[in-house]
């Protein structure tokens, strides 16, 4: 059962505000991080989560891993092994076990400095949030496949305008060699031109049209346009945001520093349908996750597979269920459903 601190009545939407960012290179000068986002297609908002709370969230994430009681110990990196951890992909993603609805995940989604940043981009408080993955990346792993580069955009090339702003809350120190997000600044502005020029390039197979992988020829096109890749560095509590059209992927660490992050993506309720909201409500009440699309376009599963079989350590509800205040509960989309 979902716990909230307040009972929220159905919400009436305000008319969309024309002051929202366009992120197409024509935005006015804001004098803050929104200039970086418009120009480069990404930005880092320093201290979006106060350091003390960021450290608390990281501690809760470590505890979540340890409480599987499989032998993982945060103080002993030799215990970082697939047999002593829940299933985590080579890219650090943990998608099952209802982890996306743990109290620490919802605490971060409701952080004023996190949701507030997206409110400034969309010029609206009527937003919903994704139930996206949690990232637990540990360095120098040889027990799982290597993390190979996967440069991509998270947007259908047939829909070239600004449609989605992705984000992650960084919770551990993340320097230039600690792995993590790498982006190609300016790629979002050239995205439509890129896809026109590369229309005949065979696409890398993907399970959704909302993912486009860059081939070797595609990477050369970006290079010939003078674009360069930048590793994004961050401190605990920093919020990283990027346009879904911005080419990006994540790197493996060259140090002994783990990387913890919660993916957070918000979009205006005005951009979704009642059908989307009902699908999102169902995902929330079943404790399942979604992709980065807050409209719950794709809904995941709580069932992890270990060696091809259902993981005997699967969890079907959060170990620590979230308690949502009125503001955070609105992010589920449920109050916007018309009864």
Residue 25 pLDDT class (50, 70, 90 cuts): low
pLDDT digits (tens, 9 = 90+) for 199-241: 999 999 998 999 999 999 999 999 999 999 999 999 999 999 9
The number of CA neighbours under 13 Å toward the Cβ of 319 is: 15
Residue 290 lies in a domain: yes
Position 9 scores a pLDDT of 44
pLDDT digits (tens, 9 = 90+) for 122-140: 999 999 999 999 999 999 9
Residue 33 lies in a domain: yes
Residue 219 lies in a domain: no
pLDDT digits (tens, 9 = 90+) for 33-89: 999 999 999 999 999 999 999 999 999 999 999 999 999 999 999 999 999 999 999
Identify the domain containing residue 65 by its residue range.
3-149+162-178+230-336
Residue 67 lies in a domain: yes
Residue 214 lies in a domain: no
Instruction: Give the contacts of 203 (CB within 8 A, at least 6 positions apart).
Output: 212, 213
Position 26 scores a pLDDT of 65
| Cβ-contact 161, 206 below 8 angstroms | no
Position 107 scores a pLDDT of 98
50: its two tokens:
């106060």
CA distance 235 to 212: 29
Residue 195 lies in a domain: no
pLDDT digits (tens, 9 = 90+) for 133-177: 999 999 999 999 999 999 999 999 999 999 999 999 999 999 999
Q: At 266, which helix (H) or strand (E)?
A: strand 266-268
CA angle (25, 28, 34) in 5-degree steps? 75
Position 7 scores a pLDDT of 36
Residue 10 pLDDT class (50, 70, 90 cuts): very low
Question: Any idea what the CATH number is for the domain that residue 250 is in?
Answer: 2.60.120.620
Residue 35 Rama label (left phi>0; alpha psi -120 to 50; beta) = alpha
Residue 296 lies in a domain: yes
Position 6 scores a pLDDT of 36
Q: What percent of the chain has pLDDT over 70?
A: 93
CA angle (120, 98, 112) in 5-degree steps? 20
pTM: 0.92
Cα dihedral 59/62/68/70 (nearest 10): -140
pLDDT of 296 over the 90 cut:
no
| Cβ-contact 150, 118 below 8 angstroms | no
pLDDT of 2 over the 80 cut:
no
Residue 257 lies in a domain: yes
Q: How many domains, the chain?
A: 1
CA distance 339 to 324: 21
Position 5 scores a pLDDT of 38
């Amino acid at each position: 059962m979902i716990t909230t601190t307040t009972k929220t009545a159905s919400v009436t939407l305000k008319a969309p505000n024309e002051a929202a960012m366009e992120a197409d290179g024509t935005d006015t000068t804001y004098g803050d991080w929104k200039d970086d986002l418009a120009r480069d297609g990404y930005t880092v908002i320093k201290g979006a989560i106060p350091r003390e709370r960021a450290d608390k969230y990281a501690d809760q994430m470590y505890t979540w891993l340890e409480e599987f009681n499989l032998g993982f110990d945060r103080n002993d990196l030799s215990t970082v092994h697939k047999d002593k951890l829940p299933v985590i992909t080579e890219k650090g993603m943990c998608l099952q076990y209802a982890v996306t609805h743990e109290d620490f995940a919802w605490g971060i989604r409701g952080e004023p400095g996190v949701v507030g940043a997206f409110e400034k981009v969309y010029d609206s408080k009527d937003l919903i949030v994704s139930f996206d993955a949690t990232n637990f990346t540990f360095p120098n792993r040889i027990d799982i496949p290597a993390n190979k580069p996967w440069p991509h955009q998270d947007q259908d090339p047939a829909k070239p305008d600004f449609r989605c702003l992705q984000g992650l809350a960084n919770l551990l120190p993340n320097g230039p060699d600690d792995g993590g997000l790498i982006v190609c600044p300016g790629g979002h502005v050239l995205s439509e031109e890129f896809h026109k020029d590369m229309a005949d390039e065979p696409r890398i197979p993907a399970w959704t049209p909302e993912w486009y992988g860059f081939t070797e020829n595609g990477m050369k096109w970006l290079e010939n346009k003078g674009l360069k890749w930048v590793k994004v560095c961050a401190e605990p509590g920093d919020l990283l945001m990027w346009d879904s059209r911005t080419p990006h992927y994540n790197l493996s660490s060259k140090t002994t520093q783990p990387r913890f992050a919660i993916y957070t993506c918000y979009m205006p309720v005005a951009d979704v349908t009642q059908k989307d909201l009902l699908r999102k409500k169902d995902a929330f009440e079943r404790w399942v996750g979604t992709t980065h699309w807050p409209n719950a376009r794709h809904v995941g599963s709580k069932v992890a597979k270990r060696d091809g079989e259902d993981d005997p350590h699967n969890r079907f509800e959060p170990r620590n269920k979230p308690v949502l205040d009125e503001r955070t509960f609105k992010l589920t989309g449920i109050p916007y459903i018309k009864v």
